[in-house]
Structure 1
Amino acid sequence: MEKLIVLGTGHALTTKCYNTCFALAEENKYILVDTGGGNGILGILEKADIPFSKIHNVFITHRHTDHVLGVLWIIRKISGLIRSGKYEGNLNFYGHAELIQNIQTLMEVTLDTNILQMIGKRIMLIPVADGQKESLDGLDFTFYDIHSTKAKQFGFTVKLKNGKTLTCMGDEPYNPLCRKYVENSDWLLGEAFCLYRDREIYKPYEKHHSTVKDTCELAAQLNIKNLVLWHTEDQNILDRQKLYIAEGKRYYSGNLYVPNDLDVLVL
């Protein structure tokens, strides 16, 4: 049974929930997608009961702090396991070529030599191109350029072992150039910075983000069966799920999920 383990659901500056990131889990294998903005990722992974020794593949969408900085703490943690003989295999990081260079630079200016010596040996930095296909833990991924209006960013679509497709659009609005990757997906992971009614408060469009209404209308147009909304504000954290679902259901009739940190969705 394949599961999506929600590690964080907030945007970059949230304090009541962690930055949006997640894990795809199947049996005892875990693929991380983004890592949040700091060492909070270590505690989140422990709370989610994800063993560090079972993490071998990590995909990072783009270079923004709330997505990439947790990489350094995962490397520190797993490099220690490697040195102590408690980690088998390699730790692989995937991302577009520019991002991989960014991660390399971050490592060089922040990590000790004994960790840097593992790059290319046990810690692998693997660039992927637009449309490139890769098998991660037996799952077939297709990575694609989301045509970001800010920092270069990639998403992906993956064929799950149950035959369903899951598509991650990153944290920016959908670009029609990506239609072939997104349309008819069984699961779509989309950002919704705030409620449409609150757009004048949070200014999502100025930040190149979407509202609940926008992403739900998109999912309806593209025949999405299951829609997950996250990368949100946190001022209404206690009522967020109820409020977002109520607004979203006015525009989308499929299965709508607004998870909280550490929720688990069966795919």
Structure 2
Amino acid sequence: MKLTILGTGNAAVTECYNTCFLLTEGPGHLLVDGGGGNGIFRQLKAAGVRWQDVRSIFVTHKHLDHITGILWMMRMILQGMARGQYEGEATIYSHKEVTGLLRTMAGLLLSEKETRFLDERLHLVTVEDGESLPLLGQRAGFFDIGSTKAAQFGFSITLPGGGKLTCCGDEPFNERERPYAQGSRWLLHEAFCLASQADVFKPYQKHHSTVADACRLARELGVENLILYHTEDKNIARRKALYTAEGAPLFSGSLFVPEDLETFEL
């Protein structure tokens, strides 16, 4: 399985794309979130993936920097179906609030000749807290992260070679996530900024973590590989070096601070 980080930034970034990523196993792809606009097509193209080949999508929550790119994916998929230029089916997984929102927005923004393919070929599937489903030939378990803002789900997926990859969303760790995140081979976790710059970026007021917070947590959870994302972009030129310097002494595993479009063999 391969992981491609399509975007690494938080909602306000302009120097990189918003946080979203792609899991690939054989010919199958799972897109997780879509960033804040049609830039998702640029990111997929740069990653060497045709958007038409992305048939499974998971949306963590309704914030604009995660869901707006999904609306563009829906538009292009449904438009392609209406024009006879898109074969087969696609599925978007999300919790009930996001599923309802996507359905409502599609009805308001897209034409009837496009939306008639909703549920017929483009399926909006609601996942429940604790539910497990087959994705990419593996089992994926979905969980409510206990957000203090908009309802948000994360997921954990088994890896072909053993172990699991866990995505904890873009908020600080909640104890309800422990059964999924504990002992992960790969953990994706938000790190809004450096702890040394918390007075500048104010992560706690925005309900986010620092690099130091994420690294201490990953060490406690027994994680092997930690990927930090959903960051600020004021340090973009030196982000990898700065974040690694702060986090590596606090974490015993392998720490990664990716750039947009960086890939990992899982």
Aligned residue for 1:259? 258
Report which stretch shifted further, 70-79 or 27-36.
Answer: 70-79
TM-score by length of 1: 0.97
Shift in Å, 1:78: 2.0
In structure 2, distance between residues paired with 1:105 and 1:259: 35
Shift in Å, 1:99: 1.3
Aligned residue for 2:157? 158
**Is the Cα–Cα contact under 8 Å of residues 53 and 86 in structure 1 kept in the other structure?**
no
Describe the superposition over 1:195-240 as per-residue Cα deviations: whole angstroms up to 9, x where unpaired.
0000000000011100000000000000000000010000010100
Aligned residue for 1:120? 119
* Runs of at least 4 residues off by over 6 Å: none
**Is the Cα–Cα contact under 8 Å of residues 157 and 181 in structure 1 kept in the other structure?**
yes
| Residue pairs, 1:60-99, within 5 angstroms | 60-99=59-98
Q: Percentage identity across aligned positions?
A: 46
Give the aligned residue type for 2:115: L
| Residue pairs, 1:139-154, within 5 angstroms | 139-154=138-153
**Is the Cα–Cα contact under 8 Å of residues 81 and 114 in structure 2 kept in the other structure?**
no
**Is the Cα–Cα contact under 8 Å of residues 184 and 222 in structure 2 kept in the other structure?**
yes
**Is the Cα–Cα contact under 8 Å of residues 53 and 81 in structure 1 kept in the other structure?**
no
Shift in Å, 1:88: 3.3
**Is the Cα–Cα contact under 8 Å of residues 227 and 255 in structure 1 kept in the other structure?**
yes
Shift in Å, 1:86: 4.3
Give the aligned residue type for 1:56: R
**Is the Cα–Cα contact under 8 Å of residues 195 and 213 in structure 1 kept in the other structure?**
yes
TM-score by length of 2: 0.97
Report which stretch shifted further, 79-88 or 196-205.
Answer: 79-88
In structure 1, distance between residues paired with 2:152 and 2:79: 30
Unaligned residue ranges in structure 1 (runs of 5+):
none
Aligned residue for 1:137? 136
Shift in Å, 1:110: 1.3
Classify the secondary structure of the residue corresponding to 1:92. Answer: strand
Aligned residue for 1:197? 196
**Is the Cα–Cα contact under 8 Å of residues 220 and 252 in structure 1 kept in the other structure?**
yes
Q: Alpha carbons of 1:255 and 1:192: their partners in 2 closer, same or farther (altered >3 Å)?
A: same
Shift in Å, 1:84: 4.5
Shift in Å, 1:53: 2.5
Classify the secondary structure of the residue corresponding to 1:207. Answer: coil
Unaligned residue ranges in structure 2 (runs of 5+):
none
Give the aligned residue type for 1:196: A
Classify the secondary structure of the residue corresponding to 1:118. Answer: coil
Classify the secondary structure of the residue corresponding to 2:55. Answer: strand
Classify the secondary structure of the residue corresponding to 1:142. Answer: strand
Report which stretch shifted further, 207-216 or 39-48.
Answer: 39-48
**Is the Cα–Cα contact under 8 Å of residues 141 and 159 in structure 1 kept in the other structure?**
yes
Q: Alpha carbons of 1:162 and 1:88: their partners in 2 closer, same or farther (altered >3 Å)?
A: farther
Aligned residue for 2:231? 232
Give the aligned residue type for 1:219: A
Shift in Å, 1:257: 0.5
Alignment root-mean-square deviation, CA: 1.1
Aligned residue for 2:30? 31
In structure 2, distance between residues paired with 1:12 and 1:222: 27
**Is the Cα–Cα contact under 8 Å of residues 3 and 265 in structure 2 kept in the other structure?**
yes
Shift in Å, 1:83: 3.7
Report which stretch shifted further, 72-81 or 173-182.
Answer: 72-81
Aligned residue for 1:12? 11
**Is the Cα–Cα contact under 8 Å of residues 213 and 247 in structure 1 kept in the other structure?**
yes
Report which stretch shifted further, 84-93 or 252-261.
Answer: 84-93
Classify the secondary structure of the residue corresponding to 2:108. Answer: helix
Aligned residue for 2:53? 54
Matched, 1:210 2:212: no
**Is the Cα–Cα contact under 8 Å of residues 78 and 115 in structure 2 kept in the other structure?**
no
**Is the Cα–Cα contact under 8 Å of residues 82 and 114 in structure 2 kept in the other structure?**
no
Classify the secondary structure of the residue corresponding to 1:69. Answer: helix
Aligned residue for 2:175? 176
In structure 2, distance between residues paired with 1:229 and 1:19: 13
